[in-house]
Structure 1
Amino acid sequence: MNPVDRKLSMVQVLACGAMIVTLSMGIRHGFGLWLLPVTQAQGWSRETFSFAIAVQNLAWGFCGIFAGMLADRFGAFRVLVGGAVLYAVGLWGMAAAPNPQLFALFAGVLIGAAQAGTTYAVIYGVLGRQVDPAKRSWAMGVAAAAGSFGQFLMLPVDGFLIGALGWQTALYVLSAAVLLIIPLAWGLREPGFTGGQAPKREQSVAHALSEALRYPSFLLLTAGYFVCGFQVVFIGVHMPSYLKDHGFSPQVATTSLALIGLFNVFGSYFAGALGQKFARRKILASIYLGRSIAITLFLLVPLSQPSIFVFSAVIGLLWLSTVPPTNATVAQIFGVAHLSMLGGFVFFSHQIGSFMGVWLGGMLYDRTGSYDVVWYLSIALGIFAALVNLPVREAPIARGATPQAA
């Protein structure tokens, strides 16, 4: 491929990948706005809604491993199309579910599986294979920034749809909109995957996964990502209810989440760009420690609109900024042949943390009438994540002379 074609290919991959992540993550980030309308209309507890979203995050992480394997084997296009269809069915069912069990099935299992096939693990696999290593961390930052822009863009849209059409009709509209992922996925059809045949690889899936699980730095990155999921999903889902409990209007909550999305555009982009120049382990440790400091100050100062908006801006800078350096480090250590699968495995840890954060938020609120315990846990876990990322070794792993062929 000549330099001009390579540049055009990178632009196409970045544009289509960024728009897919914008749509998929933008819809997902707005689920916190449905907590009160759904629970009040259905007569359910906050724990019921929280459990469904917790299942969603767990299903997303678990299915992400297999979505990554399929994308590495057959290419991203097929996985993205299947994910878009599941997403549409899940959103429709989320609106139509008459009981908590079906709500958990649609909002939890189906949408979680759909997100596994339409977000970072799959998109980053394409970026890792198609973008030059010198620009890989930057490109991943662009994709993460796109997901953040989706949050900023979609949250006001979600709020408007709920207010104008009601929460059920708003979900039906989003169910149709998410199918736009299918034509965008066409731009991510990789030439090496024609006919359903993956390019020849030096490692089998089993050997690649076994190698990663025996490597301490991979486990440390995985542990840190657990904390990332715990913090961001707890805040993203429960922040609107936390603010309402303290007397603030839904508009303040919507603005708060939108500010997180807006500032995360910059945080994610710069984290990716800095990952090309500085040690990513130090970037990750700084992000996690910064989150703990931000949450501590948020709880200490008197709660007001200015303090809410300042906290939202600061936490937004640190929101998805862990994603580019984490995935770029995995790619640098292990290579890109199984990047979607290994990225999915790391993300599974993130989603276990997400499950714990969102479920504990609802459960402990129903038990104690307060979110305080989960806020304190978020602070402690942030310090833990900062410490475990510092020993990570970023150099490519040393392999034996005899490859483990697929």
Structure 2
Amino acid sequence: MTSPTRAPHTLSMTQVLLCGAAIVTLSMGIRHGFGLWLQPITMDRGWSRETFGLALAIQNLSWGLVGPFAGMLADRYGAFKVLVAGSVLYAGGLVLMALATSGLAFHGSAGLMIGMAQAGCTYAIVYGVIGRNVAPEKRSWAMGITAAAGSFGQFLMVPVESGLISAFGWQEALILLGCAALAIVPLAFGLKEPKLAPPAGRQQSIGEAVREAFGYRSFQLLMAGYFVCGFQVVFIGVHMPSYLKDHGLSPQVATTALALIGLFNVFGTYAAGVLGQRLAKRHILASIYALRSVAIIAFLLLPLTPASVYAFSIAMGLLWLSTVPTTNAVVAQIFGVKHFSMLGGFVFLAHQIGSFLGVWLGGKLYDATGSYDVVWWIAVALGVFAALINLPVRETAIVRGGVPAPA
């Protein structure tokens, strides 16, 4: 008589959530305050704002381009090794960012190195571990918890980084943040998964997984929606302070607005994760994009006052990154978790292309027209587009050889 087969060992859900949330808090929180270095770095080095802005644009693009490869490595060799490499690269990029004395060196450190580092220690990598170690019925909620932690990190780290600059100077503050980035290494041990024997039968290759995903209509629609998400949030995050200043509002209003977005982002991402366990995720995504368009229209049509800015910031905060746990949960639901980090990286690449266009078109069209109005209405139209294309997304597991993909 043979003994029953034991279920493969998985990490504790509590351990995965605590370590994953702490990693995302650090990795996302550090980058959220980079705008605080614009003035001190450009004034001290004698650089233009374009030099600084190009570095951040390179950072976003390299993050998106490297993301699928970092996810591929995490799926194949384990997230632990990728997280450690990302942590070390992040720390090195921050230190070299402090020491760079030429625009090229700054683009290489603040842009390329930190962007590559973020690909190795943010959502796609952590979500891969969650997907493999959290039961499917709790996966959306768990991703919402982690996204909420990242949102809280963004809210928390801005005043911390501002305080470091004031107390120690901008260069020393970057070096201290580099030390903080190394804290991801011990946290990564909490996401170190045991090696398991490969399951019996023929396994899907990386190439097959990529071809399957890109040939699947719902994956294409999710990528298109995520492109819109990147366009909207980065345009608003980067250009709204200038928009408010152009209309005579004080810098304090813009600072408070960004803080409110970060704070209410915590509640929005958690709520999206919880709702994803109960409602069709395509309906949640469609609602998020539609409500963003409604919020932007109201913001543009109502008289611009501090109160209307704060109301808009709260509304956008609730909708800010609530697409993250929902979109990723759908990807895992359709394709399973074997190649999840890689596929999540491809979806995020679409987000980063949208981010690049949002920040670039914001400046380009403002220079051409003297106003941000055209870009605001493009953001509205894209929100309606994203709402409509998410409705036909099929959330059921894809069928391979007559068998649904394992959850």
TM-score (normalizing by structure 1): 0.91
Q: Which residue of 1 aligns with 2:70?
A: 67
Instruction: Name structure 2 gaps, 5 residues minimum.
Output: none
* AA in 1 matched with 2:119: A
Post-superposition CA distance 1:131-185 (Å, at most 9, x none): 0001001101111111101111111212223334343332222122111111111
Q: Which residue, out of 131, 136, 161, partners 2:134?
A: 131
Distance 1:190 1:44, change over 3 A: same
Distance 1:21 1:199, change over 3 A: farther
Q: Which residue, out of 181, 186, 209, partners 1:183?
A: 186
Distance 1:48 1:244, change over 3 A: farther
d(CA) in 2 for partners of 1:88 and 1:156? Answer: 20
Q: Which residue of 2 aligns with 1:9?
A: 12
d(CA) in 1 for partners of 2:282 and 2:344? Answer: 16
Does 1:167 pair with 2:170? Answer: yes
Quote the offset at 1:47 in angstroms: 3.6
Matches within 5 A, 1:239-254: 239-254=240-255
Quote the offset at 1:252 in angstroms: 3.3
Quote the offset at 1:249 in angstroms: 4.5
Distance 1:375 1:165, change over 3 A: farther
Matches within 5 A, 1:195-274: 202-274=203-275
d(CA) in 2 for partners of 1:31 and 1:213? Answer: 34
d(CA) in 2 for partners of 1:173 and 1:357? Answer: 31
Q: Which residue of 2 aligns with 1:331?
A: 332
Contact 1:33 1:240 in 2 (8 A): no
How many residues align structurally?
Answer: 399
* AA in 1 matched with 2:285: L
d(CA) in 2 for partners of 1:273 and 1:298? Answer: 28
Distance 1:338 1:164, change over 3 A: same
Distance 1:274 1:403, change over 3 A: closer
Q: Secondary structure at the match of 1:395?
A: coil
Contact 1:60 1:116 in 2 (8 A): yes
* AA in 2 matched with 1:26: G
Q: Secondary structure at the match of 1:276?
A: coil
d(CA) in 2 for partners of 1:162 and 1:368? Answer: 36
Aligned-residue sequence identity (percent) comes to: 68
Does 1:57 pair with 2:75? Answer: no
Quote the offset at 1:65 in angstroms: 0.2
CA RMSD of the aligned region, Å?
Answer: 2.4
- More displaced stretch, 354-363 vs 265-274: 354-363
Does 1:115 pair with 2:118? Answer: yes
Quote the offset at 1:358 in angstroms: 1.9
Q: Which residue, out of 106, 110, 115, partners 2:109?
A: 106
Post-superposition CA distance 1:235-260 (Å, at most 9, x none): 22333344444444444333222211
- More displaced stretch, 346-355 vs 197-206: 197-206
Quote the offset at 1:121 in angstroms: 0.6
Q: Which residue, out of 140, 143, 147, partners 1:144?
A: 147
* AA in 2 matched with 1:179: L
Q: Which residue of 2 aligns with 1:311?
A: 312
d(CA) in 2 for partners of 1:219 and 1:117? Answer: 24
| Larger Rg computed on CA atoms | 2
Contact 1:61 1:351 in 2 (8 A): yes
* AA in 2 matched with 1:212: A
- More displaced stretch, 387-396 vs 165-174: 165-174
Q: Which residue, out of 88, 91, 96, partners 1:93?
A: 96
Q: Secondary structure at the match of 1:154?
A: helix
d(CA) in 2 for partners of 1:238 and 1:93? Answer: 27
* AA in 2 matched with 1:271: A
Q: Which residue of 2 aligns with 1:385?
A: 386
d(CA) in 1 for partners of 2:54 and 2:358? Answer: 10
Distance 1:309 1:165, change over 3 A: farther
Matches within 5 A, 1:363-374: 363-374=364-375
Distance 1:100 1:171, change over 3 A: same
Taking CA–CA contacts closer than 8 Å with sequence separation of 6 or more, which of the two structures ends up with the larger relative contact order?
A: 1
Q: Which residue of 1 aligns with 2:289?
A: 288
Distance 1:48 1:365, change over 3 A: farther
Distance 1:84 1:378, change over 3 A: same
TM-score (normalizing by structure 2): 0.91
Q: Which residue of 1 aligns with 2:363?
A: 362
Instruction: Name structure 1 gaps, 5 residues minimum.
Output: none
d(CA) in 2 for partners of 1:134 and 1:400? Answer: 24
d(CA) in 1 for partners of 2:298 and 2:41? Answer: 32
Contact 1:50 1:358 in 2 (8 A): no
Quote the offset at 1:199 in angstroms: 6.8
Contact 1:51 1:359 in 2 (8 A): no
d(CA) in 1 for partners of 2:368 and 2:167? Answer: 34
Does 1:26 pair with 2:16? Answer: no
